[in-house]
Amino acid sequence: MTPLHRIWLSLGAVLAALALTTAIRADDGTIVGLAACSGGGPDCTPPPPNSGFVAVSSGNYHGMGLRPDGSIATWGLCDVEQCSVPLPNSGYTAISAGDSHSLALRPGGVIVAWGSDEAGQLNVPLPNSGYVAIAGGGLHSLALRADGSVVGWGSSPGSSVNPPAPNTGFVAIAAGGWRSMGLKSDGSVVLWGSCSPSPCELPSPNTGFVAIATHHSHALAVRADGSIVAWGSNNWGLNDVPEPNTGFVAVAAGDQFNIGLKANGAVVIWGRYEQSTVPLPNAGFEEITANTGFAYGLRSAAPWTCSIDADCSDGQFCNGVEDCVDGQCQPGARPCAFPLECRESDDQCVQCLHAGTCLDGQFCNGAESCSTAGTCQAGTPPACTPPTFCSEIFDACVQCTSSAQCSDGLFCNGNEFCSAGGCFAGSNPCPGQGCNEATNVCTAGTQSAAGRVPSAGGSPLRLQKAGSNLTLTWGTSCLGTDTDYAVYEGTVGGTFTSHVSRLCSTGGLTTATVSPTVGNKYYLVVPRNASREGSYGTRTGGAERPVGTGQCAAQLLGSCP
């Protein structure tokens, strides 16, 4: 991401010094790992010698450092060539690391890009000259021209490439994972890309800002009075700027943490990582940079000496009491034993600082929270209305997690199945045939072998399960005057001449949907204007009604008029 440093310059001077992009400095410097990189490690550590750097930038899991001769050092995860600096490795004037790609600026404002190009983030728009600042994002890149316009390329959710109109007056840029940010000469900020809700929220009043930073879902800005404004997602307390919220000159946004740089060269970290991840001495920093996994500060290599313990104290409780040993400051011991966390506001060891510490990753027991007293509180389980239940697989109230939970045990209506937590009806296992529920086999003939809607061709009655209902379809009757039909329900094993009317008119349609009553039922479809035997079939199997004496024989019906 775009490294942030020394942005207490006036807005006019920012543009002259290549905006917020790294620039050559005369002093010497070392790169110090912060947050997740505070303990060093092979992926976090710059190649030796770790001195003489004039700029630093952090990608997702790779780092870049710029030396006074314009050469670039890279380190970390280099799986897609993001560490392969194009030759000649000299003469570069600025650097910026995206998630998995790298950008650098040459004299004349020429941009060089390498690493992952999965979304076109290396395809610098023409003419490739006259750029004064660069910023690498997730799958996109940004550049600032001397005329104050912003150019973007690559791709990212929410159209984070193209700034909103008017595309003028920009003096600084920052690229987050899925969004972009710009600072204008009037001190206002512009934010575009992936925001929820959309359009992107902006602070009020939107004026007087001198530095910016953004990541996936939150943003930061420094006002001219040295205070930080933070907004967007507050996971891990990203918006809770530590007090005193004064004296800041730069900010950097990580995935789950933030870094602020003060005018006295001290660094402040908040969010997932504690202040104790700042190596001592917490002084002399001139630049900060952060991304998902890597974070760094650039510090002067001037020796830090002390005479008494008070010379080493940074006034922070949570990183312990610093000591002066042989003229060098030594870090103090953490006052809070794991897994307790340290709360700087009242110098207390507590169970949690933010809800993120309490979350157990389970959906069905609700979202845990952190109380104001610093203790984890159980969440409220989601209210699932029977017959639905809570599923950890789908993180939702569902009908099923396997097809076995949808089965009604019947063969002739097909195998019900589960999809995305919902039960769906099966398909007819015996298309064009009959079905014997007692033996779970398909039989020769039609689906309603024991009777037919009166017609010369003997059109069969077909039953198909549709959720908790049955859909009946049939052919036309044997009389041309039969233009409407009634549907009756009977009980298998009962009196076949006794039926209950379920639908006295289909409106002339040769299809109907009914909700079966409890028990082993069969259904009879009869032309409305004549008492004739109709077609029938069973819902749950068993003995079917015997065949009548003729297709148009008289039939005792129910109560339809």
- Dump pLDDT digits (tens) for 375-423: 999 999 999 998 899 999 889 999 999 999 998 888 877 888 999 888 8
| Residue 300 CA: distances (Å) to CA of 264, 266, 284, 369, 446 | 13, 12, 6, 41, 90
User: pLDDT category, 7, cuts 50, 70, 90?
Assistant: very low
Q: Which of 314-323, 388-397, 500-509 has the highest mean pLDDT?
A: 388-397
Q: What pLDDT sits at residue 156?
A: 59
- Nearest Cα neighbor of 300 from 263, 265, 267, 327 is 265
Q: What pLDDT sits at residue 459?
A: 55
Sequence ranges of the domains in the chain: 4-302, 389-424, 456-538
User: pLDDT category, 276, cuts 50, 70, 90?
Assistant: low
- How many CB atoms within 10 Å of residue 18? 21
CB 342 within 8 A of CB 363: no
Report the pLDDT averaged over residues 257-263. Answer: 93
Four-way CATH pick for 4-302: 2.130.10.30, 1.10.8.80, 3.30.460.10, 2.60.40.2580: 2.130.10.30
In angstroms, the CA 389 to CA 19 distance is 55
CB 102 within 8 A of CB 64: yes
Q: What is the pTM of this model?
A: 0.58
Distance of CA 150 to the CA centre of its chain: 27
Q: What pLDDT sits at residue 158?
A: 53
- Nearest Cα neighbor of 260 from 281, 280, 238 is 238
End-to-end alpha-carbon separation of the chain, Å? 79
CATH number assigned to the domain covering 456-538: 2.60.40.10
Structure tokens at 520: 């082993």
Question: What is the CA angle 496-500-501, rounded to 5?
Answer: 125
Residue with tokens 């870090």: 331
- Nearest Cα neighbor of 203 from 190, 213, 217, 214 is 190
Q: What pLDDT sits at residue 380?
A: 94
- φ and ψ at residue 189, rounded to 5 degrees: -110, 150
Q: Return the higher-pLDDT residue of 398 and 282.
A: 398
Residue with tokens 């790779």: 62
Q: With 0-12 CB in 10 A as exposed, 13-18 as middle and 19+ as buried, what is 516?
A: middle
User: pLDDT category, 545, cuts 50, 70, 90?
Assistant: very low
Report the pLDDT averaged over residues 132-138. Answer: 94
- DSSP label at residue 452: B
Q: Return the higher-pLDDT residue of 471 and 375.
A: 375
Q: Does the pLDDT value for residue 20 go beyond 60?
A: no
Q: Does the pLDDT value for residue 151 go beyond 90?
A: yes
Q: Does the pLDDT value for residue 251 go beyond 90?
A: yes
Question: What is the CA angle 288-346-35, rounded to 5?
Answer: 25
User: pLDDT category, 549, cuts 50, 70, 90?
Assistant: very low
Q: Does the pLDDT value for residue 15 go beyond 60?
A: no
Q: What pLDDT sits at residue 127?
A: 93
In angstroms, the CA 150 to CA 535 distance is 75
Q: What pLDDT sits at residue 356?
A: 80
Q: What pLDDT sits at residue 208?
A: 95
The strand pairing partners of 491, in sequence order, are 521
Q: Does the pLDDT value for residue 194 go beyond 60?
A: yes
- DSSP label at residue 186: T
Q: What pLDDT sits at residue 452?
A: 38
Structure tokens at 72: 């670039």
In angstroms, the CA 243 to CA 353 distance is 15
The strand pairing partners of 55, in sequence order, are 66
Q: Which of the residue ranges 53-57, 154-158, 333-337 would you say has the lowest mean pLDDT?
A: 154-158
- φ and ψ at residue 237, rounded to 5 degrees: 70, 35
Structure tokens at 439: 């033996």
Question: What is the H or E stretch that residue 525 is in?
Answer: strand 521-527
- The overall average pLDDT reported for the chain is 79
Q: What pLDDT sits at residue 186?
A: 95
| Residue 25 CA: distances (Å) to CA of 68, 71, 108, 355, 525 | 7, 14, 18, 41, 92
Report the pLDDT averaged over residues 15-40. Answer: 56
